[in-house]
Amino acid sequence: EAMAWAEGNIREDIGAHPSLRIYAASAAFADMPDAALAAIARLRSIDPEICISRLASYFGPYKKPEFIEKYTKGLRLAGLPE
């Protein structure tokens, strides 16, 4: 479900940073490594500085810790560098 939502947003806006992150993490959890890696590559072409250690700056203070933990795990699985 998250992948379908993100994919729709990516179609509307190729530079959709949040949607690419959601798509990459969701694809990784869905055991779709090629799709996850492609999303990470596209994300890094838009934002070459994005990495696990900088994720907090994208989330802001409003996210629950358990959400951030799972999201981070998905992005690691997708191949986002530390």
Q: Tell me the per-residue pLDDT of 11-44, one tens digit each, with 9 for 90 and over.
A: 566 667 788 898 899 999 999 999 999 999 999 9
Q: What is the percent of the chain with per-residue pLDDT over 70, rounded to a whole number? A: 80
Q: What residues contact 17, with CB distance under 8 A and at least 6 apart?
A: 43, 46, 47, 58
Q: Is 60 exposed, middle or buried (0-12, 13-18, 19+ CB in 10 A)?
A: exposed
Kindly list the distances between the CA atom of residue 61 and the CA atoms of 2, 21, 55, 65, 74, in Å, as whole numbers in the listed order.
22, 18, 11, 10, 20
* Helices first, then strands: H and E counts in the chain: 5, 0
Q: What is the percent of the chain with per-residue pLDDT over 90, rounded to a whole number? A: 50
pTM: predicted TM-score of the whole model, two decimal places:
0.79
